[in-house]
Amino acid sequence: MAELQDSLFPDLPRPPEAQSPTPSPALKEPEDEPPPRKKPRGGTVAAVAPDAALIDLAAALPPGLRLGTSSWSYPGWSNLVWDGEYAETVLSRNGLSALAQHPLFRTVSLDRNFYRALTASQYARYAAMVPDDFRFVVKAPSLVTDATVRDESGRGTQVNPVFLNSEIAIQEFVQPALDGLGHRIGALVFQLSPIPSQLLADQPALLTCIGDMLEALPGLQSIAPDAVIAVEVRDPQLLCPAFADMLRSTGATFCMGLHAKMPPIEEQLPMLRALWPGPLVCRWNLHRRHGRFGYEDAEKLYGPFDKIVDLDPETRAVLAKVIAGTTGAGQNAYVTVSNNAEGCAPLTIASLARDIVNLQKR
């Protein structure tokens, strides 16, 4: 393990619904009463029976590591996470409690908060659905992290007047999360959308604005001892010493965003090294094969997210090494994985967990 820590930061230059089979004429139901496509469950979701091998794998992982998925409303996870096929709407509302029973999942990313801020009562409902030791990774609403106001298609329409506004960040994000999730907060992530070129050109002013917002946020540790504030960016120009210095001075950390808009994981490691020692926050969002605007392509290619489609052994190997080194040094790690990383988040997480355990054995 000491060897791992020494080499931790080396210098490095809606899923489509399945079509039901056509019934034979003798069995065909009246046209106004089609056969049900999902098993009736009364709105509840049951977890798949735990797999003994996954239980053993989870027990071998470092206690400071929290692996989890990016959201959870995927019917394609039948027999991987759920005990059968459920409607997406049912999973969205009631699937979290079943997800939290999976042996490997000790966190989840609440991505929906990016699009519309959750209330304290909504957070509290999620908190009540998971074990006491479960922790949430929560994305800040785009209301404060996007410099541009966008229409439903994502096209920018005007300048966002409350971009990086600390009062809005506290009122719409940090305080409701503290009130609703309490000690179950793991990481509050400010994922900054791609920043307009005119703002990015004056990097010192931009970093000052980010730092001022972070400085104004209330402390988390008295309520959520494991919690950390992290900043994720989608502009490679911000992977620089000045950005790391700003994060360190505010007590925040870097969220490693594995996304095609950013350099691959190997080229983001210097940011982690600059902030060492400290916790790891990582969101593996998109396979490196896809371009800057390849999210929708990945959704179409990988749905219904029930199998690995595109292996990314390079990313997984480096990430496993960083996790093993971080947790081996006594630091916490929050790592969430999207279906768009390789095609099926639960299977990617299982492979990543095996890689971590194998590293620990060396």
DSSP string, 30-75: PTTSPPPSS---TT---BPPPPHHHHHHHHHS-TTEEEEEE----G
* Among the listed residues 111, 110, 173, 102, the one whose alpha carbon sits nearest the alpha carbon of residue 131: 102
Q: What is the pTM of this model?
A: 0.89
* Among the listed residues 67, 89, 72, 71, the one whose alpha carbon sits nearest the alpha carbon of residue 354: 67
Output the pLDDT for position 17: 38
Contacts (Cβ under 8 Å, ≥6 apart) of 291: 260
CB 134 within 8 A of CB 69: no
Distance CA 104, CA 200 (A): 39
Output the pLDDT for position 153: 67
Output the pLDDT for position 8: 52
Q: What is the rounded (10 degree) CA torsion for 92, 94, 100, 104?
A: -40
CB 320 within 8 A of CB 8: no
Distance CA 64, CA 287 (A): 26
Output the pLDDT for position 39: 54
Output the pLDDT for position 35: 44
Output the pLDDT for position 38: 53
281 to 81, 173, 260, 267: CA distances (angstroms): 24, 18, 18, 16
Output the pLDDT for position 296: 86
E strands present in 119-267:
135-139, 148-150, 156-159, 185-191, 228-232, 253-258
* Spans in the chain with pLDDT lower than 70: 1-42, 153, 293
Where along the chain do its domains lie? 2-9+48-361
What tokens were used for 5? Answer: 């820590």
CB 253 within 8 A of CB 229: yes
CATH superfamily assigned to domain 2-9+48-361 = Protein of unknown function UPF0759 (3.20.20.410)
| Identity of residue 359 | L
What tokens were used for 324? Answer: 């093993």
